[in-house]
A and B are shown apart, each in its own frame.
Chain A
Amino acid sequence: QKEVEQNSGPLSVPEGAIASLNCTYSDRGSQSFFWYRQYSGKSPELIMFIYSNGDKEDGRFTAQLNKASQYVSLLIRDSQPSDSATYLCAVNAIQGAQKLVFGQGTRLTINP
């Protein structure tokens, strides 16, 4: 089992709809959770981070964390074609450790 798992997609969503991206992780000691957006040929760009159970909203983006289920998700409301990218889920696996463990990414396409 991979440490961080994502559905690789592609996930296709019509413009204006809600895109839902999911991620599971294996290490129960994980403390910090990050979502990065990566356009083709570009570097990962931080979108959201969440440390506590529950929801965290920033504009059109909402991160949701459920530590009991070892599950983190990203919702994108009012999806735009510019949201088309690969979304990477990343986890700091162990408290005090610095490295990020990434999932393989979910490719999202927003259809006009």
Chain B
Amino acid sequence: GAGVSQSPRYKVAKRGQDVALRCDPISGHVSLFWYQQALGQGPEFLTYFQNEAQLDKSGLPSDRFFAERPEGSVSTLKIQRTQQEDSAVYLCASSPGTGNQPQHFGDGTRLSIL
């Protein structure tokens, strides 16, 4: 079956522009997560959705970061007024239920801010 799909794979933006990153989780997966991965580091948690409810957004670095999952499937991570330190790989993961189940990752979006 299809895995987690993310688009675009690569995004280049000028500092100050807004960007939107899309995640299409595995069909039927209740839980959806966003992580940020800097070069040479492990992924860092940004936010978590259970269906359409955003239950944890403690990892979002600033109020320029916003995520939504309005119908409980596709999710969008939006970054407003981008800055160079936002350059990273943004990973989306999903899991079937709401317990501590394994998370399955998409290929990520590599964001470069010039």
> What is the CB-to-nearest-CB distance from A2 to chain B, in angstroms, rounded to a whole number?
10
* A102–B100 touching, CB < 8 Å: no
Complex interface residues of chain B between 19 and 39 (CB less than 8 A to chain A): 31, 33, 35
Q: How many interface contacts (CB-CB < 8 Å) are there between A and B?
A: 56
**Interface residue tally for chain B (C-beta within 8 Å):** 24
Please give, as numbers and ranges, the residues of chain B lying within 8 Å of A92 by CB-CB distance: 100
Q: Does B40 touch A at the CB level, under 8 Å?
A: yes
> What is the CB-to-nearest-CB distance from A29 to chain B, in angstroms, rounded to a whole number?
12
A43 to B55, CA, bound (A): 24
Most buried by B among A49, A95, A98, A104: A98
Please give, as numbers and ranges, the residues of chain B lying within 8 Å of A105 by CB-CB distance: 40-42
Known contacts A43-B91, A43-B105, A45-B105; A98 and B42 CB within 8 A of each other: no
